[in-house]
């Protein structure tokens, strides 16, 4: 009798937990639908528990002009999550005795400044001082055109080193572009072939590969900005440019298979993975340290064109989350947190998307060019279609959503702006950074 009573209590508890999990997942699905309906985000979202996918949601279009809806097999550009793939290939090359973590860059590209002091490990951890080519304005003059190893190396080598190798961490896409070329040299195969042979084929990933020109007819998503009531297509970076730093396309479910296989020693040895997890300044080899609640995970995020992506795994929880969006005016980090909360049985608060209408005459008073001491960029404020927009020097315009008649936000970047039309000032905040801008 006692045993039966215990069993019944246990069974009831499990039922309640399952009900709560299903309820939370439905709430997460409703949340993602709400983001899509309000044109905040469209993309593909998944999480896995104990090695198995337990949630999948897809919203929006892969091709908006043709009203072609995305589905679970739609391929998206994953941007810098590609760096984790590159790092895995490097560790595989070390295991295959093709490379050593102490091998110097001068063995492959002696013409780059400090090449004789820069190791493979430095490249993996962004501790080289090699300048990030995507930080320069001229990048936008060539990023949509095909590039060769020779042309990219000539661009990288012309910039002066930012610091002495090994002395600090500074993220640079140049490091991983070079690692991609080094892998091709030591294996005598293309980077695309190495991704296929050493990662995609062993894991039976049929939708993970090096991307090319986006082909919506092959269920590949284009990227967009939502402006003036329509989805406007964004330019396409030619995938020869990011190379090993960001040229892979995939899906959230296949990315989860990849990181779970990595954690379980299916791609490289546990010792190699342990080396990848040797974090300095929160960055290891192609992975970053990721906090959630009291837990610590690892993974990477990415951005290319208007694609935004995340891939995180938490070994203690045995939970992985992945999301790729091809349009976002929202803070994708908030989406990741809500996915993790759902996967771990926690509730979350649904956002309120009530839009405040601000009179056109008041918006016009906020227009102008704003400058602030200590802030590296000027910000142009203008109205368009009854909405306020901002544009920092050398960057694209971004929409500002009204919180009140004087305060506006851009959730995707965590930006808040509060205007005082009489004083001609704008109080700007982004995270811990706060500045007061003055209209010129």
Nearest to 241 by CA among 345, 153, 340: 153
Tens of pLDDT, residues 280-331: 999 999 999 999 999 999 999 999 999 999 999 999 999 999 999 999 988 8
Q: Which residues, 6+ apart, have CB-to-CB distance to 433 below 8 Å?
A: none
Question: What domains sit in the chain, N to C, each tagged with a CATH number?
Answer: 76-343 (3.40.710.10), 360-439 (2.40.128.50)
Decide which of 330 and 341 is more confident: 341
Average pLDDT over residues 43-49: 97
Instruction: Map residue 425 onto helix, strand or coil.
Output: strand
Instruction: Map residue 168 onto helix, strand or coil.
Output: coil
DSSP string, 108-123: T-TTSTTTTT-BHHHH
Tens of pLDDT, residues 180-203: 999 999 999 999 999 999 999 999
What sections of 132-241 are H helices per DSSP?
139-142, 149-158, 173-187, 191-195, 201-203
Dihedral over alpha carbons 324, 325, 331, 332 (to 10 degrees): -10
Average pLDDT over residues 247-265: 98
Decide which of 233 and 376 is more confident: 233
79: left (phi over 0), alpha (psi -120 to 50) or beta: left
Task: State the DSSP H helix or E strand holding residue 382, giving kind and residue range, or none if neither.
Answer: strand 379-384
Number of other residues whose CB lies within 10 A of the CB of residue 346: 13
Cβ atoms of 234 and 76 closer than 8 Å: no
Looking at residue 160, the DSSP 8-state letter turns out to be P
How far apart are alpha carbons 365 and 266 in whole angstroms? 60
Residue-level pLDDT at 431 = 77
Task: State the DSSP H helix or E strand holding residue 23, giving kind and residue range, or none if neither.
Answer: helix 2-37
Number of other residues whose CB lies within 10 A of the CB of residue 430: 13
Exposure string for 316-330, b = 16+ CB within 10 A, e = fewer: ebebbbbbbbbbbbb
Cβ atoms of 108 and 139 closer than 8 Å: no
pTM, rounded to two decimals: 0.83
Among 19-28, 32-41, 171-180, 215-224, name the one with the lowest average pLDDT: 19-28
Tens of pLDDT, residues 104-120: 999 999 999 999 999 99
Return the sign of the alpha-carbon dihedral for residues 358, 359, 360, 365. Answer: negative
Average pLDDT over residues 36-45: 94
248-250 vs 209-210, strand pairing mode: antiparallel
Average pLDDT, the chain: 92
Tens of pLDDT, residues 60-103: 999 999 999 999 999 999 999 999 999 999 999 999 999 999 99
Q: How far lies 277's CA from each of 125, 287, 346, in Å? A: 11, 7, 27
> In sequence order, what are the beta bridge partners of 41?
328
Instruction: Map residue 184 onto helix, strand or coil.
Output: helix
What sections of 159-315 are H helices per DSSP?
173-187, 191-195, 201-203, 252-263, 270-276
How far apart are alpha carbons 168 and 166 in whole angstroms? 6
Residue-level pLDDT at 75 = 98
Residue-level pLDDT at 21 = 56
Distance from the Cα of residue 230 to its chain's centroid: 24
């Amino acid at each position: 009798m006692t045993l039966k009573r215990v069993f019944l209590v246990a069974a009831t508890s499990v039922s309640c937990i399952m009900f709560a999990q299903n309820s939370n997942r439905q709430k997460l699905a409703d949340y993602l639908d709400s983001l899509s309906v309000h044109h905040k985000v469209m993309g593909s979202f998944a999480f896995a528990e104990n090695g198995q996918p337990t949630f999948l949601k897809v919203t929006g279009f892969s091709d908006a002009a043709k009203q072609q809806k995305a589905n679970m097999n739609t391929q998206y550009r994953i941007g810098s999550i590609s760096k984790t793939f590159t790092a895995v290939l490097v560790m595989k090359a070390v295991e295959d005795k093709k490379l050593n973590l102490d091998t110097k860059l001068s063995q492959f590209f002696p013409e780059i400044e400090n090449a004789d002091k820069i190791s493979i490990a430095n490249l993996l951890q962004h501790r080289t001082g090699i300048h990030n080519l995507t930080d320069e304005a001229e990048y936008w003059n060539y990023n949509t055109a095909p590039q060769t190893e020779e042309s990219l190396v000539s661009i990288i080598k012309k910039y002066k080193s930012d610091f002495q190798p090994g002395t600090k961490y500074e993220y640079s896409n140049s490091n991983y572009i070079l690692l991609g070329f080094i892998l091709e040299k030591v294996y005598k195969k293309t980077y695309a072939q190495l991704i296929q042979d050493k990662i995609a084929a062993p894991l039976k990933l049929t939708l993970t590969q090096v991307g090319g020109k986006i082909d919506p007819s092959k269920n590949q998503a284009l990227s967009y900005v939502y402006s003036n009531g329509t989805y406007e297509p964004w330019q396409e970076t030619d995938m020869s440019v990011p190379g090993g730093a960001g040229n892979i396309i995939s899906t959230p479910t296949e990315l989860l298979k990849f990181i779970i296989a990595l954690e379980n020693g299916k791609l490289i040895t546990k010792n190699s993975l342990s080396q990848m997890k040797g974090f300095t300044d929160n960055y290891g080899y192609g992975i970053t340290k990721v906090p959630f609640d009291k837990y610590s995970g690892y993974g990477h995020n990415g951005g290319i064109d208007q694609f935004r992506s995340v891939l995180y795994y938490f070994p203690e929880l045995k939970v992985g989350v992945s999301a790729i969006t091809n349009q976002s005016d929202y803070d994708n980090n908030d989406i990741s947190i809500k996915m993790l909360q759902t996967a771990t049985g926690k509730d979350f608060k649904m956002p309120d998307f009530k839009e405040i209408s601000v009179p056109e005459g008041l918006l016009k008073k906020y227009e102008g060019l704003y400058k602030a001491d200590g802030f590296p960029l000027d910000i142009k404020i203008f109205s368009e279609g009854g909405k306020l927009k901002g544009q920092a020097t050398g960057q694209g315009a971004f929409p500002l959503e009204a919180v009140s008649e004087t305060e506006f936000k851009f959730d995707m970047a965590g930006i808040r702006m509060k205007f005082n039309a009489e004083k001609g000032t704008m109080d700007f905040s982004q995270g811990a950074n706060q500045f007061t801008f003055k209209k010129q």
